Amino acid sequence: MKIAYSAASPYVRKVMACAIARGIDGRIEAWSVPTTDPALTPVNPLSKVPTLLTDDGVALYDSPVICEYLDSLGDAPKLFPPPGPARWTALRQQALGDGIMDASQPRRREIALPQDEGRAGYIDLQRGKVARAIDALEAEAGTLGALATIGEIAIACALGYLDFRFANEPWRPGHPKLDAWYARVVALPPLARTMPPAG
């Protein structure tokens, strides 16, 4: 398999964390490619990372699809629980983690541009989404485990992205349970081996 990736992408980190958690990361070749590279367009018309090329030559995107595909490989415990309440919890948590990343990535781009009322409003809107999500995660932090589900991996990658790109807006104050959980899981291989580059 081959994955089109950017080392700074939290979505790529999520995919690789899943692969590590399931013990299949050694089967994936990294293809470092900018999203503007014309070589990416034929396999993904959206020209986005991550894009996974399977051993059969099928292109899969985006991270929820790729993660579920990786969960179908190998014999390790599944990150996507079987149908039932645990599955809905894991999928909801994945949506919450992805939502934090979805709100944070474009906000980072907008902050760097000349500010006007519309742009400032958009930035505040996205910041509010992240703040509410962090509050919601604090309320359920006591139920989070050791990166055993897709939801926990997505949440951890989202928190890591906030540390990486928004260190000047620390999320830990007022969220001691979430802070304690993240401190435990950040040292586990899926996160420890996928740290974004410094700087």
**Segment 140-194, tens digit of pLDDT:** 999 999 999 999 999 999 999 999 999 999 999 999 999 999 999 999 999 999 9
What pLDDT is stored for residue 199 in this prediction? 59
Q: What is the CATH number of domain 85-188?
A: 1.20.1050.10
What are the tens digits of pLDDT across the range 34-93? 767 788 889 999 988 999 999 999 999 999 999 999 999 999 999 999 999 999 999 999
The residue extents of the domains of the chain are 2-71, 85-188
| Segment (H or E) for 117 | helix 117-140
Indicate if the pLDDT at residue 109 is higher than 80: no
Considering the segment(s) 2-71 as one domain, its CATH architecture is: 3-Layer(aba) Sandwich (3.40)
What pLDDT is stored for residue 121 in this prediction? 85
Closest among 79, 99, 92 to 17, alpha carbons compared? 79
Which residues contact residue 56 at a Cβ distance below 8 angstroms, ignoring those fewer than 6 apart?
Answer: none
Indicate if the pLDDT at residue 105 is higher than 90: no
Indicate if the pLDDT at residue 116 is higher than 90: no
What pLDDT is stored for residue 10 in this prediction? 96
Torsion 70-30-191-62 (CA) sign: negative
What pLDDT is stored for residue 35 in this prediction? 67
What pLDDT is stored for residue 174 in this prediction? 97
What pLDDT is stored for residue 114 in this prediction? 76
Indicate if the pLDDT at residue 111 is higher than 90: no
HSE toward the beta carbon, residue 114, CA cutoff 13 A: 0
